[in-house]
């Protein structure tokens, strides 16, 4: 197991290995997978990639996004610090001959500097002890002008005060639950999915059908998502011991320090997705 000198938290890496074994995404319906994919990749500049582009997925997890990226590019390097997660990704991507797997932290990706045509890291950097250092390592692997797509948990900077108060209560709950044994965390996460995620998501769905604006509805983003995804995300939310949350301004500043330019943010959920180009 790597140490913090590799800019990882070993407990967090282990938890994600357990998570992707439990929810390997193999039963997710293709329609939902595609819809979620475009929520993240809607701002990605596919048309600017060269033919047979070579790129990387930094923190690939189960490979759920890599499965849809691989068919659009020449070669994709899937990198994760968790051997358990990579085992899941290999099973899910076994039919993709253009995917190469690497067990490594972001700080030691076995890729030559300035060699990649694109890169992305979704839901990973905010789980590193030093997100800025992780992003800088990713950008270092890109060719000049190559795009880098990231998703980092938002600091609820575009939400009203009452919404942030609800989140603080849930975050206190996370701090308590995340230190428990994984089986206990998984059971609590499932209970949360049943008693919190599903009722709020389905009531939001009903409200949307009746013409109401659900953009500020707690867990309204799950109005069209399956219960399987709710269970996955509840476990992700409450079992993770280390997370950072950043405002849009902070993310933009971090990207600029990492030598990214022409930064663009998605204006819709999930917040915040952003893409920039290596200087």
117-135: string of b/e by CB count within 10 Å (b at 16+)?
bbbbbbbbbbbbeebbebb
Residue 240 DSSP class: -
At 219 the pLDDT is 93
| Span 10-28, pLDDT tens digits | 999 999 999 999 999 999 9
| Separation CA 44–CA 33 (nearest Å) | 17
Could you tell me which residues come within 8 angstroms of residue 185 by beta carbon, excluding any fewer than 6 positions away?
15, 177, 178, 235, 238, 239
At 4 the pLDDT is 60
Average pLDDT of the chain is: 95
Over residues 75-88, the mean pLDDT reads 97
Domain made up of 4-153+244-278: CATH architecture: 3-Layer(aba) Sandwich (3.40)
Could you tell me where the DSSP H helices lie in the chain? Answer: 10-22, 30-41, 66-69, 83-92, 131-140, 161-177, 182-192, 198-209, 227-239, 248-257
Residue 234 has pLDDT above 90, yes or no: yes
> Tokens in use for 24?
């390997």
At 175 the pLDDT is 94
Residue 1 has pLDDT above 50, yes or no: no
Confidence of residue 3 (pLDDT cuts 50, 70, 90): very low
Burial class (CB in 10 A: 0-12, 13-18, 19+), 83: exposed
Q: What is the separation, in whole angstroms, between the first and last Cα of the chain?
A: 34
Edge-first strand order for the sheet with 75-80 is: 99-103, 75-80, 54-58, 118-122, 147-151, 273-278, 260-265
What residues does each domain of the chain span?
Answer: 4-153+244-278, 161-239
At 97 the pLDDT is 92
Residue 180 DSSP class: S
pTM, two decimals, is: 0.95
At 215 the pLDDT is 86
> Tokens in use for 65?
């996004």
Over residues 178-206, the mean pLDDT reads 96
| Span 126-147, pLDDT tens digits | 999 999 999 999 999 999 999 9
Confidence of residue 95 (pLDDT cuts 50, 70, 90): confident
Over residues 185-197, the mean pLDDT reads 96
Percent of the chain residues topping a pLDDT of 90: 95
Residue 2 has pLDDT above 60, yes or no: no
To 10 degrees, the CA torsion angle through 36, 59, 120, 256? Answer: 120
- Residue pointed to by tokens 């009722």: 199
| Separation CA 64–CA 39 (nearest Å) | 13
């Amino acid at each position: 197991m790597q140490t913090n000198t590799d800019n990882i938290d070993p407990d967090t890496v282990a938890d994600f290995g357990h998570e992707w074994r439990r929810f390997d995404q193999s039963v997710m319906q293709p329609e939902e997978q595609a819809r979620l994919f475009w929520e993240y990749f809607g701002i990605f500049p596919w048309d600017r990639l060269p033919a047979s582009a070579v790129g990387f997925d930094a923190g690939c997890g189960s490979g759920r996004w890599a499965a849809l990226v691989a068919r659009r590019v020449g070669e994709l390097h899937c990198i994760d610090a968790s051997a358990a997660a990579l085992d899941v990704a290999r099973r899910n991507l076994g039919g993709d001959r253009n995917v190469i797997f690497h067990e490594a932290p972001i700080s030691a990706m076995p890729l030559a500097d300035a060699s990649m045509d694109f890169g992305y890291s979704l839901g990973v950097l905010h789980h590193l002890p030093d997100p800025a250092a992780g992003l800088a390592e990713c950008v270092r692997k890109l060719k000049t002008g190559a795009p880098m797509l990231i998703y980092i948990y938002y600091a609820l900077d575009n939400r009203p005060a009452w919404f942030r108060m609800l989140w603080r209560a849930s975050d206190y709950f996370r701090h308590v639950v995340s230190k428990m044994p994984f089986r206990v965390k998984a059971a609590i996460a499932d209970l949360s999915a049943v008693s919190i995620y599903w009722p709020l998501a389905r009531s939001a769905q009903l409200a949307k059908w009746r013409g109401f604006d659900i953009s500020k509805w707690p867990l309204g983003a799950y109005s069209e998502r399956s219960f399987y995804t709710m269970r996955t995300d509840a476990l992700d939310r409450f079992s993770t011991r280390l997370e950072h949350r950043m405002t849009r301004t902070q993310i933009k500043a971090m990207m600029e320090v990492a030598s990214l330019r022409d930064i663009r943010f998605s204006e819709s959920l999930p917040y915040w997705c952003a893409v920039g180009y290596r200087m």
